[in-house]
Amino acid sequence: MNDIRRDEVEDFLFREAELLDDWRLREWLELFTDDARYLVPSTDLKVDASPDDNLFYIADDRFRLGERVARLMKRTAHSEHPRSKTRHLVANVRIRGRSQDAIEVGAAAVTYRTKNGITDTFIGSNRYQLVVNGQGLKIREKRCHLDLDGLRPHGRISILL
Protein backbone atom coordinates (compact mmCIF):
# COMPACT_ATOMS: atom_id res chain seq x y z
CA MET A 1 0.00 0.00 0.00
CA ASN A 2 1.24 3.48 -0.82
CA ASP A 3 1.28 6.05 1.96
CA ILE A 4 0.57 9.22 0.02
CA ARG A 5 -1.05 11.91 2.17
CA ARG A 6 -3.99 14.13 1.38
CA ASP A 7 -1.96 17.35 1.52
CA GLU A 8 0.37 15.93 -1.13
CA VAL A 9 -2.64 15.19 -3.32
CA GLU A 10 -3.98 18.69 -2.72
CA ASP A 11 -0.66 20.24 -3.74
CA PHE A 12 -0.79 18.18 -6.93
CA LEU A 13 -4.36 19.22 -7.76
CA PHE A 14 -3.67 22.89 -6.96
CA ARG A 15 -0.68 22.76 -9.29
CA GLU A 16 -2.85 21.17 -11.97
CA ALA A 17 -5.36 24.01 -11.58
CA GLU A 18 -2.63 26.62 -11.84
CA LEU A 19 -1.25 25.13 -15.06
CA LEU A 20 -4.73 25.25 -16.58
CA ASP A 21 -5.37 28.82 -15.49
CA ASP A 22 -1.96 29.90 -16.84
CA TRP A 23 -2.74 28.17 -20.18
CA ARG A 24 0.41 26.03 -19.73
CA LEU A 25 -1.47 23.19 -21.33
CA ARG A 26 1.49 21.17 -22.60
CA GLU A 27 2.86 21.02 -19.04
CA TRP A 28 -0.62 20.09 -17.86
CA LEU A 29 -0.70 17.24 -20.35
CA GLU A 30 2.52 15.87 -18.86
CA LEU A 31 0.62 15.21 -15.63
CA PHE A 32 -1.21 12.35 -17.41
CA THR A 33 -0.09 8.76 -17.93
CA ASP A 34 0.21 7.36 -21.45
CA ASP A 35 -3.01 5.36 -21.01
CA ALA A 36 -4.97 8.22 -19.44
CA ARG A 37 -8.59 9.14 -20.04
CA TYR A 38 -10.36 12.47 -19.61
CA LEU A 39 -14.15 12.18 -19.30
CA VAL A 40 -17.07 14.59 -18.97
CA PRO A 41 -20.39 12.69 -18.95
CA SER A 42 -23.64 14.27 -20.13
CA THR A 43 -25.61 15.67 -17.23
CA ASP A 44 -28.52 13.21 -17.45
CA LEU A 45 -26.41 10.06 -17.09
CA LYS A 46 -25.94 7.80 -14.08
CA VAL A 47 -22.75 8.41 -12.15
CA ASP A 48 -21.05 5.20 -13.32
CA ALA A 49 -22.10 5.41 -17.01
CA SER A 50 -19.55 4.28 -19.59
CA PRO A 51 -18.67 6.34 -22.69
CA ASP A 52 -18.62 3.11 -24.73
CA ASP A 53 -22.40 2.92 -24.76
CA ASN A 54 -23.52 6.37 -23.61
CA LEU A 55 -23.25 9.83 -25.13
CA PHE A 56 -20.83 12.00 -23.10
CA TYR A 57 -19.76 15.58 -23.67
CA ILE A 58 -16.11 14.50 -23.71
CA ALA A 59 -14.47 11.06 -23.70
CA ASP A 60 -10.80 11.42 -24.66
CA ASP A 61 -8.16 8.74 -24.68
CA ARG A 62 -4.59 9.95 -24.24
CA PHE A 63 -4.11 10.53 -27.98
CA ARG A 64 -7.20 12.65 -28.35
CA LEU A 65 -6.41 14.56 -25.15
CA GLY A 66 -3.04 15.44 -26.68
CA GLU A 67 -4.81 16.60 -29.83
CA ARG A 68 -7.24 18.62 -27.70
CA VAL A 69 -4.30 20.44 -26.13
CA ALA A 70 -2.60 20.92 -29.51
CA ARG A 71 -5.86 22.32 -30.89
CA LEU A 72 -6.35 24.74 -28.01
CA MET A 73 -2.86 26.17 -28.50
CA LYS A 74 -3.72 27.23 -32.07
CA ARG A 75 -5.16 30.56 -33.14
CA THR A 76 -7.63 28.58 -35.25
CA ALA A 77 -9.28 27.09 -32.14
CA HIS A 78 -11.76 29.91 -32.64
CA SER A 79 -13.79 29.28 -29.52
CA GLU A 80 -10.70 30.03 -27.43
CA HIS A 81 -9.30 32.87 -29.50
CA PRO A 82 -8.68 35.26 -27.92
CA ARG A 83 -8.17 32.95 -24.95
CA SER A 84 -10.71 33.01 -22.20
CA LYS A 85 -9.68 33.71 -18.62
CA THR A 86 -10.29 30.79 -16.32
CA ARG A 87 -10.08 30.09 -12.60
CA HIS A 88 -10.22 26.50 -11.42
CA LEU A 89 -11.11 26.17 -7.72
CA VAL A 90 -10.57 22.79 -6.07
CA ALA A 91 -11.95 21.91 -2.63
CA ASN A 92 -13.20 19.07 -0.42
CA VAL A 93 -10.28 16.88 -1.52
CA ARG A 94 -10.50 13.32 -0.17
CA ILE A 95 -8.61 10.10 -0.80
CA ARG A 96 -11.44 7.65 -1.42
CA GLY A 97 -9.47 4.48 -2.06
CA ARG A 98 -5.93 3.08 -2.21
CA SER A 99 -4.16 0.23 -3.92
CA GLN A 100 -0.47 -0.68 -4.24
CA ASP A 101 0.31 1.95 -6.84
CA ALA A 102 -2.80 4.10 -7.18
CA ILE A 103 -5.31 6.17 -5.29
CA GLU A 104 -8.81 7.30 -6.06
CA VAL A 105 -9.44 10.93 -5.23
CA GLY A 106 -12.62 12.97 -5.08
CA ALA A 107 -12.76 16.76 -5.16
CA ALA A 108 -15.36 19.46 -5.55
CA ALA A 109 -14.59 21.83 -8.40
CA VAL A 110 -15.80 25.20 -9.60
CA THR A 111 -14.36 26.65 -12.78
CA TYR A 112 -15.09 30.14 -14.03
CA ARG A 113 -14.62 30.99 -17.69
CA THR A 114 -14.73 34.62 -18.75
CA LYS A 115 -14.77 35.80 -22.33
CA ASN A 116 -16.39 38.66 -24.19
CA GLY A 117 -17.69 40.15 -20.96
CA ILE A 118 -19.56 36.99 -19.97
CA THR A 119 -18.61 34.65 -17.12
CA ASP A 120 -19.81 31.06 -17.21
CA THR A 121 -19.56 28.79 -14.17
CA PHE A 122 -18.90 25.05 -14.36
CA ILE A 123 -19.82 23.45 -11.03
CA GLY A 124 -19.15 19.82 -10.32
CA SER A 125 -17.16 17.07 -8.70
CA ASN A 126 -14.03 15.52 -10.12
CA ARG A 127 -12.96 11.90 -9.64
CA TYR A 128 -9.33 11.09 -10.25
CA GLN A 129 -7.44 7.87 -10.51
CA LEU A 130 -3.89 8.85 -9.64
CA VAL A 131 -0.89 6.63 -10.12
CA VAL A 132 1.73 6.83 -7.39
CA ASN A 133 5.30 6.07 -8.41
CA GLY A 134 8.82 7.14 -7.50
CA GLN A 135 8.47 10.42 -9.39
CA GLY A 136 5.26 11.43 -7.66
CA LEU A 137 1.69 11.45 -8.96
CA LYS A 138 0.25 11.04 -12.45
CA ILE A 139 -3.36 11.18 -13.62
CA ARG A 140 -4.67 7.95 -15.14
CA GLU A 141 -8.25 9.13 -15.28
CA LYS A 142 -9.98 12.44 -14.68
CA ARG A 143 -13.75 12.32 -14.72
CA CYS A 144 -15.68 15.56 -14.29
CA HIS A 145 -19.31 15.30 -13.21
CA LEU A 146 -21.12 18.57 -13.76
CA ASP A 147 -23.77 19.52 -11.18
CA LEU A 148 -25.74 21.25 -13.91
CA ASP A 149 -28.99 20.53 -15.78
CA GLY A 150 -27.17 20.72 -19.10
CA LEU A 151 -24.69 23.25 -20.45
CA ARG A 152 -26.97 26.24 -20.20
CA PRO A 153 -26.15 28.95 -20.81
CA HIS A 154 -22.50 27.92 -21.38
CA GLY A 155 -23.02 26.28 -24.76
CA ARG A 156 -19.62 24.63 -24.85
CA ILE A 157 -16.77 23.10 -22.91
CA SER A 158 -14.02 24.61 -25.01
CA ILE A 159 -11.71 24.98 -21.99
CA LEU A 160 -10.28 22.07 -20.02
CA LEU A 161 -12.22 21.46 -16.82
Partner 1 sequence: MNPTREALPFIRVDRQAATFKVARRAFVDPAVLQAEQEQIFDRSWLYLGHASELAKPGDFVTRIVARRSILFTRDAKGALHALFNTCPHRGAQVCRDRSGNAKSFQCFYHGWVFAPDGTLRNQPGGDCYAADFNREGAANMIAVPRFEQYRDFCFVCFDRDAPSLVDHLGRAREFLDLVIDQGETGMSIVGGTQEYAIRANWKLLTENSIDGYHAATTHATYLDYLKNSSGSLVNVALDGVAHDLGGGHAVLEYKAPWGRPVAQWIPTWGEDGKAEVEAIRTRLTERFGPERAERIATTNRNLFIFPNLVINDIMAITVRTYYPTAPDYMQVNAWALAPKEEGERARKFRLFNFLEFLGPGGFATPDDVEALEQCQRGFQNMKEAGWSDISKGMGKEVPSYDDEAQMRAFWSSWNERVGVSP
Residue 71 interacting with partner 1 (CB under 8 A)? yes
Q: Cβ of residue 24: shortest distance to partner 1, in angstroms?
A: 19
**DSSP β-bridge partners for residue 143:** 39, 127
Q: Tell me whether residue 72 or residue 95 sits nearer to partner 1 (CB atom).
A: 72
> Cβ(137)–Cβ(101) under 8 Å?
no
Q: Tell me whether residue 33 or residue 43 sits nearer to partner 1 (CB atom).
A: 43
Q: What is the dihedral of CA 107, 126, 13, 77, to 10 degrees?
A: -150
Q: Binder to partner 1 among 25, 29, 51, 88 (CB under 8 A)?
A: 51
Residues in 115-144 that interact with partner 1 by CB under 8 A: 116, 118
For residues 39 and 12, what is the distance between their CA atoms, to the nearest angstrom? 19
Region for 13 from its dihedrals, namely left if φ exceeds 0, alpha if ψ lies in -120 to 50, beta otherwise: alpha
Residue 54 interacting with partner 1 (CB under 8 A)? yes
Interface residues with partner 1 (CB under 8 A) are: 40-45, 49, 51-59, 63-64, 67-68, 70-71, 74, 76-79, 116, 118, 149-158
